[in-house]
Amino acid sequence: MSRQSHILSILQLFDTGMSVWTVEEIAKALGVSVRTAYRTVRELTQGGFLDPVSGAGYVLGPAFIRFDRVLRQSDPLIRIATPAMERVLEETSQEAVVILCRRFKDCVMSVHMVEGREPHLPASYERGAAMPLFLGAPAKVILAFLPDRVLRGLYLRNDAELRLSGIDSWANFKEQLKPVRKAGYAMTQAEIGEGRLGIAAPITREGLVVASLSLVLSVRNGRPDAERIAHFAGSVRRAASAVSAALDVSEPGAAPR
């Protein structure tokens, strides 16, 4: 195992449900000597990526907070999308949240959020939390616009999970996504959180879907009427299209491919 992969493997351990790891536990989990684990842990601690706690354990360190701030300030997608997200709230309802999501492995992750000024239910998509790729409007609209070869790989890797939800074949999986692709947006209600309705449109770069922009409304008193939904969906689609157009003319490498 190279030094770089060893460092990465240690950091990935903190994404397995345990927030505190000792050097001995790290060495056992990675199959390396305690001496090797300690040397890498010391290096990560010096860089602020790990922090010692009582009981000889280590937690993720403050360097991640610093780099999260740098990411928020420098990510072209967030910078370009923020004004469009604010505009959606102005055009629709301030009793809502607009979220920006990216696909992360076989999940979808919220990377930015703009909240309305009026009281509303909190969004289920907390920034940085890995959410299901097969539930919710932000995920389904990304799925619907993925190339077939990528979509088929996702289906094969998650075949058992999809069968439990009633999708029994690749053809059935594709068929359920066709209406989303045709409409240009996805809409779901209470799939991720009770009392919430989500409307999401794809953000593309050079024709490839890279993210989704979603309006999440509180629907305590039932779903809005068809005319309002059409208005909401139009606003979300226009915003996503504007972000996509801006990404296409932004600097090379500005958004994930």
pLDDT category at 5 given cuts 50, 70, 90 is: confident
Give me the pLDDT at residue 256, please.
45
Cα angle 222-179-107, degrees, rounded to a multiple of 5:
80
Other beta carbons within 10 angstroms of residue 220's beta carbon come to: 11
Residue with tokens 């770069």: 205
Helix (H) or strand (E) holding 245: helix 226-248
Over 50: is that where the pLDDT of 257 sits?
no
Separation of alpha carbons 100 and 70, rounded Å: 17
Give me the pLDDT at residue 254, please.
45
Give me the pLDDT at residue 10, please.
93
Separation of alpha carbons 182 and 197, rounded Å: 20
Instruction: Tell me which of 256 and 129 has the higher pLDDT.
Output: 129
Give me the pLDDT at residue 253, please.
46
pLDDT category at 1 given cuts 50, 70, 90 is: low
Q: pLDDT tens for residues 22-66?
A: 999 999 999 999 999 999 999 999 999 999 998 899 999 999 989
Q: pLDDT tens for residues 145-193?
A: 999 999 999 999 998 888 887 888 999 999 999 999 999 999 999 888 7
Instruction: Tell me which of 234 and 3 has the higher pLDDT.
Output: 234
Q: pLDDT tens for residues 133-148?
A: 888 999 999 999 999 9
Over 90: is that where the pLDDT of 213 sits?
yes
pLDDT category at 221 given cuts 50, 70, 90 is: low
Give me the pLDDT at residue 43, please.
93
Q: pLDDT tens for residues 73-111?
A: 888 999 999 999 999 999 999 999 999 999 988 889 999
Helix (H) or strand (E) holding 236: helix 226-248
- Answering whether pTM is above 0.85, one says no
3-state SS class at 166: coil
3-state SS class at 200: strand
